[in-house]
């Protein structure tokens, strides 16, 4: 991925924070997922009063893409922080989101965790989820 693509994903993730539904935590997260065919699927976090049905921004983006038949991906950008924050901190994906990434992404998948389009960190999937359990573990031998 080049820097222009990374910044575009971060900008879309930043925009998605505006759609977060966070009446309990007031912590808005946005995500922008790049498919293998260069389409971008976006997501925001959506909370629920009973907490368990809450869905993270990353999974929202993945589930939107999968529900439209897209199963291969290149990268995701994630941004998050308090709803009223003027500056963001790094917001890495939770364990459940990392596991969803493992389901659909190979070792080349890029995870961008950003504060802004100028401050970001880039990881591969194995760097954020080493020794992962995934579909290949369940292949009949």
State the DSSP H helix or E strand holding residue 13, giving kind and residue range, or none if neither.
Answer: helix 3-16
Q: Which tokens sit at 79?
A: 């941004």
Instruction: Look at residues 97, 105, 103, 100 and name the one whose alpha carbon lies nearest to residue 125.
Output: 105
84-to-18, 22, 25 alpha-carbon distances in Å: 11, 12, 12
Active site residue 103: no
Q: How far is CA 98 from the centre of its chain?
A: 9
Length of the chain: 141
Q: Which of 58, 89, 103, 108 is catalytic?
A: 58
Instruction: Look at residues 82, 138, 81 and name the one whose alpha carbon lies nearest to residue 115.
Output: 81
Sheet-wide strand order for 110-114: 40-44, 27-35, 73-82, 110-114, 120-124
Q: Give catalytic residue positions.
A: 58
């Amino acid at each position: 991925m080049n820097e222009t693509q990374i910044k575009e994903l971060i900008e879309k993730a930043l925009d998605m924070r505006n759609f977060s539904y966070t009446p309990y935590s007031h912590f808005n997260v946005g995500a922008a997922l790049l498919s293998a065919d260069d389409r971008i699927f976006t997501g925001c976090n959506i909370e629920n009063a009973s907490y368990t049905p809450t869905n993270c921004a990353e999974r929202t983006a993945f589930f939107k893409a999968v529900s439209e038949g897209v199963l291969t991906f290149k990268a995701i950008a994630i941004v998050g922080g308090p709803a009223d924050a003027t500056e963001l901190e790094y917001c890495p994906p939770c364990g459940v989101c990392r596991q969803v990434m493992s389901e659909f992404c190979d070792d080349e998948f890029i995870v961008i965790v950003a504060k802004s389009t100028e401050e970001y960190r880039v990881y591969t999937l194995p760097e954020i989820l080493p020794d992962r359990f995934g579909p290949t573990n369940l292949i009949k031998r």
